[in-house]
Amino acid sequence: MARTISTLSSCILAFAGIATLTPVADARSSGAWGGNPLDGNSLSCYAETGGAVRGIGFTASCTPGAPGGPPPNGGQGPRWEVQLPVDAAKSYAVQFSSMQGNGSGGPCCTAYAVSPTGTLSGSNTICSSGSGMIQRAPLNPVSVPSGGYLFLACSGLWYTDSQVGSISWN
């Protein structure tokens, strides 16, 4: 009995030691579907797949984020925005997973840092590429001021199955 307790105690201590040595990343994550449409678009301009937001294809009822119609003629397509909660004023690195649909370009996302008064304090944009493959796209960090906000806005969802999936930030 004493040997069993000793062995069990050793296993518990070994497990506790492993657990305390493993660093915990100070990161948050969210599915992109937790956001909202921009530019007066209806939710019907988008679809959800496993927490990802994806384009349903070009329709006349979905207004472009920029004039000119769907890319490559100048429009950015319907835009989608996700608010990313932050606890402190600091620099945040944001990354997202995306997949190019049946068009010539993948989604582009911009991380926006905004002051409590609504002043833009920083932004960074990256466009993904790679047809039919899920990719991670890391953005350069943006600095959120005290009491400020962090957002991710994505465009390029004109094409069927173009999608933005998980978002992480730390």
Query: Would you say residue 79 lies in a domain?
Result: yes
For residue 154, the domain's CATH number is 2.60.120.260
So what's the pLDDT on residue 91? 95
Q: Are 92 and 144 in contact (CB under 8 A)?
A: yes
**If you average pLDDT over residues 133-153, what whole number do you get?**
90
Query: Cβ neighbours of residue 71 under 8 Å, at least 6 residues apart?
Result: 77, 103, 104, 105, 156, 158
Rounded mean pLDDT of 93-98? 91
Per the structure, the complete domain to which residue 159 belongs is given by 26-169
Q: Confirm whether 82 is domain-assigned.
A: yes
What distance lies between CA 113 and its chain's CA centroid?
Answer: 14
Write the Ramachandran bin of 42: left for phi over 0, alpha for psi from -120 to 50, otherwise beta.
beta
Flag whether 16 is in a domain: no
pLDDT of 100 strictly over 50: yes
Are the C-beta atoms of 112 and 151 separated by less than 8 Å? yes
Measure CA 39 to chain center. Answer: 19
Residue spans of beta strands (DSSP E) within the chain = 28-31, 36-37, 46-49, 52-55, 80-84, 90-92, 94-99, 108-114, 120-127, 134-138, 142-144, 149-155, 163-169
Lowest mean pLDDT among 42-46, 77-81, 83-87, 99-103: 99-103
User: In what side-by-side order are the strands of the sheet with 149-155?
Assistant: 36-37, 80-84, 149-155, 108-114, 120-127
pLDDT for 72 equals: 47
Can you give the length of the chain in residues? 170
Residues 64-75 have a mean pLDDT of 49
Q: Is 18 contained in some domain?
A: no
- Summarize pLDDT for 83-93 with one digit per residue, the tens: 999 999 999 99
Torsion of CA 103, 38, 75, 134, to 10 degrees: -20
What total of structural domains would you count in the chain? 1
Residue 10 lies in a domain: no
Please check whether residue 20 lies inside any domain of the structure.
no
Residue 17 is predicted with a pLDDT of 37
Is 11 within a domain?
Answer: no
